[in-house]
Amino acid sequence: MNTLVSRLRRGHSAEYELLVKHAPCFFRHNAKLRELGFTPDRTKAFLEIGTGWDVNAAYFARLAGYGEVITVDAFVHLDPAQIVACLKIFPRLATEIAREFGRDETEVAAELAQAAQEHGEDFLLRTDIRYVAPISTDYHEIESVSKDVVYSSVVMEHLSLSDVKNTLAQIRRILKPGGYTTHIIDLSDHFACFHPGLPYNHFLRFSDKQWAFWADNPLAFTNRLLASDWENLFQEAGFDILFFQDVVPTHLPPLPVTQLSPQFRSRSARDLEVGEIHVVARRPT
């Protein structure tokens, strides 16, 4: 039902997922890691949390040069038809991929052209991308101290507070000392994506009890944690925060503070303005 409604409304079209969401997000992650001194190579292991309907981020990791690539999800959403549709669009990104990952464009174009001819299941086998879903709550499928990078994009906001704390603890366990965890987290009301003119912080008008009634389900849940909450959670989990970027939405209006639920009215102006964050943290050595 989620997939059907989303396709009718706007998205899980292959073009939207790859060109609008996954490619820009992965390139942002990669550029910041490179700026911090990290370079993928065959000795490095990559873990994505939150696969979704396709393996775009995992394939980007393979193209970037990671040796081991694993992608995990709490639910089995992977759609072979969606994988194939995305692979047919990847060749449009050959120039950008070559530039972002420091690779020869002719070589990249040939690799993407070959991938565009494959079937979803065959592609996963050939590229040796490991897919684990549903992942257990303790992530016992993933070895401790085994990954150099743990990645997610617009996933962490869908976890309950207790699940966020558990996931950060598991990420710390999984990372090698000095390993990086990088996350783009959407702090805005996701319903604003489908309801024109809805304020990006509209969901802050509801009390916790009201929000639980409307949105405490696997389809619509967002935890409504704000920027300073996330800073505290990463620090409490034992990470060194290397980069924390606030993004203030400009394409949607805010809801006035006076219309927010009392529990949010006392929050800082910064917390109430931020609609997205990009966090890069490191497990201490």
Whether residue 61 is contained in a domain is answered as yes
pLDDT tens-digit series, residues 11-26: 568 999 999 999 999 9
Could you read off the pLDDT tens digit of each residue along the chain, which spans 285 residues?
655 665 565 556 899 999 999 999 999 999 999 999 999 999 999 999 999 999 999 999 999 999 999 999 999 989 999 999 999 999 999 999 999 999 999 999 999 999 999 887 789 989 999 999 999 999 999 999 999 999 999 999 999 999 999 999 999 999 999 999 999 999 999 888 777 788 999 999 999 999 999 888 877 799 999 999 999 999 999 999 999 999 998 877 889 999 999 999 999 999 999 999 999 999 999
**By C-alpha distance, which of 27, 89, 96 is closest to 61?**
27
Whether residue 128 is contained in a domain is answered as yes
- Count structural domains, the chain: 1
Whether residue 187 is contained in a domain is answered as no
Whether residue 93 is contained in a domain is answered as yes
Whether residue 11 is contained in a domain is answered as yes
Cβ neighbours for 146, distance < 8 A, ≥ 6 positions apart? 45, 174, 176
Q: Residue 74 sits in a domain of what CATH number?
A: 3.50.50
Domain that holds residue 111: 2-153
Whether residue 260 is contained in a domain is answered as no
Whether residue 20 is contained in a domain is answered as yes
CB atoms within 10 A of CB 1: 6
Whether residue 285 is contained in a domain is answered as no
**By C-alpha distance, which of 125, 182, 124 is closest to 148?**
182
Q: What percent of the chain has pLDDT over 70?
A: 96
pLDDT tens-digit series, residues 43-86: 999 999 999 999 999 999 999 999 999 999 999 989 999 999 99
DSSP code at position 253: P
What single string gives the DSSP state of each residue in 25-42?
A: HHHHHHHHHHHTT----T
